[in-house]
Structure 1
Amino acid sequence: MSSRAPNQTPALPPNQTPAVPPHQIRAVPPHRTPAVPPHQRRPDPGAREPLWRDLVGDVLRRERLDQERTLKDVAEAARISMPYLSEIERGRKEASSEVLAAAAHAVGLDLGSLLSRVHSEFSRRTAAVRRAPGSHNTLCLAA
């Protein structure tokens, strides 16, 4: 004789679930995020615009290497320390416009040419970055 009442379900051992017949399984609809108007969408957080200091450093380093000049040579010509110029080229320091002009002149560029190359580099890199709809694809530079 059984110890349970006739309308009770049998107790299951721990960590076991009752088998559900396939005809009783219902598909759960996928979670849908509500539609967000284009003007409220945010850009992908993994994709970010490049920093000004990174672009300036890249342009200065590329110009120096194209001329096959050493960091020491350019730093002496610009009258700035070699470690400081290295930090600028690696995007670790945000240099003043005076220091940027000196570094640019040391590699044969004027400040306007440096800014123009940085702008071109910015445009090239951000073309691949998906921007938020409604944002403006402009860059304002002041020296």
Structure 2
Amino acid sequence: MDVNAIPHTPRPLLRTILGGVLRGIRRHQGRTLSDVADAARVSMQYLSELERGRKEASSEILAAVCEALRVELSDVLAEVGRVMMAQRVRHASISVARQTAATRASSPQAYALAA
């Protein structure tokens, strides 16, 4: 197996994960971007960019969006932490797969003995 065949997966940015969590909460509530943006007193475009991970949210904006979503900021941050941990585990699994593939490629006999 070609070690380079396993694609490198960069770790996502905090803003990307945070945006995904906010979008998930909003969608779970069945609310529109417009509704939440109005309640948070931010533009719909800005909220959309936050949800897509294209903008960094200030603490004030994040608090306003959480209030508009009627969720605790601490719960949102806890969910972000859970997602990051799950991605960390996946990243570690990919690293192990790469190391295993490298071992197989460099020494098939050594891999067979270790298995």
Query: Do the structures match in fold with TM over 0.5?
Result: yes
CA RMSD of aligned residues (A): 1.9
User: Is the Cα contact below 8 Å between 1:50 and 1:126 reproduced in 2?
Assistant: no
Unaligned runs of 5+ in 2: 1-5, 96-115
- Using CA pairs under 8 Å that are at least 6 residues apart, name the structure with larger relative contact order, 1 or 2: 2
Pick from 16, 34, 39 the counterpart of residue 54 of structure 1: 16
Residue type of the alignment partner of 2:8:
G
Partner SS state of residue 130, structure 1 = helix
Question: Shift in Å at residue 107 of structure 1?
Answer: 0.9
The alignment's TM-score, normalised by the length of structure 1, stands at: 0.58
User: Is the Cα contact below 8 Å between 1:74 and 1:103 reproduced in 2?
Assistant: yes
Residue type of the alignment partner of 1:113:
D
The alignment's TM-score, normalised by the length of structure 2, stands at: 0.72
User: Is the Cα contact below 8 Å between 1:57 and 1:91 reproduced in 2?
Assistant: yes
- Corresponding position of 2:45: 83
- Corresponding position of 1:65: 27
Partner SS state of residue 17, structure 2 = helix
**CA distance in 2 between partners of 1:114 and 1:106 (Å):** 13
Residue type of the alignment partner of 2:65:
A
After superposition, the C-alpha distances for 1:5-42 in whole angstroms (9 at most, x for unaligned) are xxxxxxxxxxxxxxxxxxxxxxxxxxxxxxxxxxxxxx
Q: Does the C-alpha gap of structure 1 residues 70 and 129 become closer, same or farther in structure 2, counting only changes over 3 Å?
A: same
| Between structures 1 and 2, the one with greater helix share | 2
- Corresponding position of 1:96: 58
What is the total number of aligned residue pairs between the two structures? 90
Partner SS state of residue 68, structure 1 = coil
Q: Percent identity?
A: 47
**CA distance in 2 between partners of 1:122 and 1:103 (Å):** 21
Instruction: Name which one, 1 or 2, has greater alpha-carbon Rg.
Output: 1
After superposition, the C-alpha distances for 1:55-97 in whole angstroms (9 at most, x for unaligned) are 1100000000001000000000111110000000000001101
